[in-house]
């Protein structure tokens, strides 16, 4: 998984965590259904925002969810997942942008791509993804040519950029691409009046994505000699942070101008979690909403956060833990389960049970940064009790 909005599932609360997982799984399954099994590799956290925004604007109906079968990344459990045009648009956008990224790495000769046979295979994959993304976009009325054009212009801009070039000149193609994708969610949801504010939110999100990627890669790029927009234009971290803060403020304002049916998850991801992403990239303190329920208090907690699909007892209370000796697997059975978890990336990217003790564990990608308390948080106490709760008095 990749992307700048990587929410800690403990901060989301049980209900929003389930919704977020529904969109993540929906994007993954849309890629598999429309473009083949291998296409699922481009599943990313930022792409699912397109699906989230589409559903947030649409009138509620039974067609937005379906029950998906067992999956290794869900601990072989079924789940309710997002479906429909939002997920298909997210899949198309993810494929086109992933294809562009592969072509960029091939052009730079990064790592194994410096070898001719590997580069040739990567180009074929990128071409296939680009065509598949174009077909998928066309199916939902979105012309992916705007994305391809933005990527092509990006290469030329980077070639000409140097000290004194405005950083926003370099980020413009990314801004244009994300603006188009965000705006089209309004068309899919039947709210054309939202197209303009969401295009502005998308433009600023694209700016942030480019900025944070540059900040996080600055030292690595300096060591490897790779091109970095901050280094190339002579932009300081102070100026980059100012631009990031301005973009976050602009996104909040743009979201206020749009009409939503249910904006809770979109707001949490594009306001609260995006702020955490900026703080993470710049190494500054952020609010850790540890184990935050959506509303009410401790009674609103669901199953333990380590497993979003854990069963509940009567009345929604977690079932009593079983003695460890009842659940333990034998040596051979545990080894077989371990092999399955390793081969399906469950130990890295998902929640799983220990192969031998069955104790709930989280993969490396799922480990959160919410150990800190909300003391000193720059948002209101209501938000710390569950972001976007009713009556929240924060400025977002």
Q: pTM for this one?
A: 0.74
Cβ neighbours around 332 below 10 Å, total: 8
**Contact predicate 150/97, CB 8 Å:** no
Q: Which residue in 99, 91, 122, 100 sits closest to 24, CA to CA?
A: 91
Report whether pLDDT(223) > 50.
yes
The pLDDT value recorded for residue 102 is: 84
**Tokens 């996080």 — which residue?**
216
Report whether pLDDT(336) > 70.
no
| 57-61, 220-224, 231-235, 327-331: range with lowest mean pLDDT | 327-331
Locate the domains of the chain by residue range.
9-282
Mean pLDDT over residues 112-116, rounded? 79
Calpha distance 272→260 (Å, rounded): 18
Tokens of 178: 């994300």
**Tens digits of per-residue pLDDT, 13-41?**
888 988 888 898 888 888 888 888 888 88
Report whether pLDDT(298) > 90.
no
The pLDDT value recorded for residue 77 is: 76
Mean pLDDT over residues 210-222, rounded? 91
Q: Which residue in 219, 88, 63 sits closest to 141, CA to CA?
A: 88
| 62-66, 91-95, 99-103, 310-314: range with lowest mean pLDDT | 310-314
**Tens digits of per-residue pLDDT, 123-143?**
888 888 888 899 999 999 999
| Three-state DSSP state, 94 | helix
Report whether pLDDT(214) > 50.
yes
Mean pLDDT over residues 146-164, rounded? 89
Is residue 279 left, alpha or beta, with left meaning phi > 0 and alpha meaning psi from -120 to 50? Answer: alpha
**Tens digits of per-residue pLDDT, 238-251?**
999 999 999 999 99
170 Cβ contact list (under 8 Å, min separation 6)? 157, 158, 161, 210, 229, 232, 233
The pLDDT value recorded for residue 7 is: 84
| 30-39, 53-62, 294-303: range with lowest mean pLDDT | 294-303
Q: Is the dihedral of CA 58, 60, 63, 66 positive or negative?
A: positive
| 4-8, 93-97, 222-226, 282-286: range with lowest mean pLDDT | 282-286
Q: Classify strands 360-362 and 351-353 as parallel, antiparallel or unpaired.
A: antiparallel
- The strand ranges marked E within the chain are 65-71, 77-82, 351-353, 360-362
Topology of 9-282 in CATH? Farnesyl Diphosphate Synthase (1.10.600)
Instruction: Give the mean pLDDT of the chain.
Output: 77
């Amino acid at each position: 998984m990749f992307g700048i909005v990587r929410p800690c599932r403990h901060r989301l609360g049980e209900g929003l965590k389930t919704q977020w997982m529904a969109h993540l799984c929906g994007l993954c399954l849309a890629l598999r259904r429309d473009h083949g099994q291998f296409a699922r590799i481009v599943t990313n956290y930022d792409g699912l925002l397109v699906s989230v925004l589409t559903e947030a604007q649409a009138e509620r109906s039974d067609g937005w969810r379906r029950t998906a079968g067992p999956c290794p990344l869900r601990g072989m459990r079924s789940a309710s997942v997002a479906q429909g045009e939002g997920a298909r648009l997210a899949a198309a956008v993810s494929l086109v942008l992933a294809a562009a990224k592969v072509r960029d790495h091939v052009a730079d000769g990064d790592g194994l791509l410096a070898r001719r046979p590997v580069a040739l295979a990567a180009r074929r994959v990128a071409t296939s993804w680009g065509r598949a993304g174009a077909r998928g976009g066309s199916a939902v009325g979105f012309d992916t040519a705007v994305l391809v054009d933005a990527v092509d212009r990006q290469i030329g801009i980077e070639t000409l950029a140097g000290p004194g070039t405005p950083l926003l000149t370099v980020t413009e193609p990314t801004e244009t691409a994300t603006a188009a994708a965000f705006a089209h969610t309004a068309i899919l949801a039947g709210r054309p009046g939202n197209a303009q504010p969401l295009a502005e939110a998308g433009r600023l999100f694209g700016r942030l994505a480019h900025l944070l990627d540059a900040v996080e890669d600055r030292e690595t790029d300096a060591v490897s000699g790779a091109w970095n927009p901050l280094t190339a234009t002579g932009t300081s971290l102070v100026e980059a942070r100012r631009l990031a803060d301005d973009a976050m403020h602009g996104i909040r304002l743009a979201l206020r101008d749009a009409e939503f049916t249910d904006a809770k998850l979109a707001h949490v991801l594009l306001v609260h979690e995006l702020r955490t992403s900026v703080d993470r990239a710049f190494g500054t303190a952020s609010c850790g909403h540890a184990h935050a329920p959506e509303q009410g208090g401790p009674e609103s907690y669901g199953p333990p956060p380590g497993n979003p699909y854990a069963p509940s007892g009567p009345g929604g209370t977690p079932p009593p833990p079983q003695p460890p000796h009842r659940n333990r697997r034998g040596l051979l059975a545990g080894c077989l389960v371990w092999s399955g978890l390793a081969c399906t990336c469950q130990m890295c990217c998902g929640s799983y049970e220990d192969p031998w003790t069955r104790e709930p564990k989280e993969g490396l990608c799922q480990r959160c940064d919410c150990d800190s308390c909300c003391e000193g948080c720059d948002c209101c106490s209501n938000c710390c009790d569950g972001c976007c709760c009713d009556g929240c008095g924060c400025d977002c």
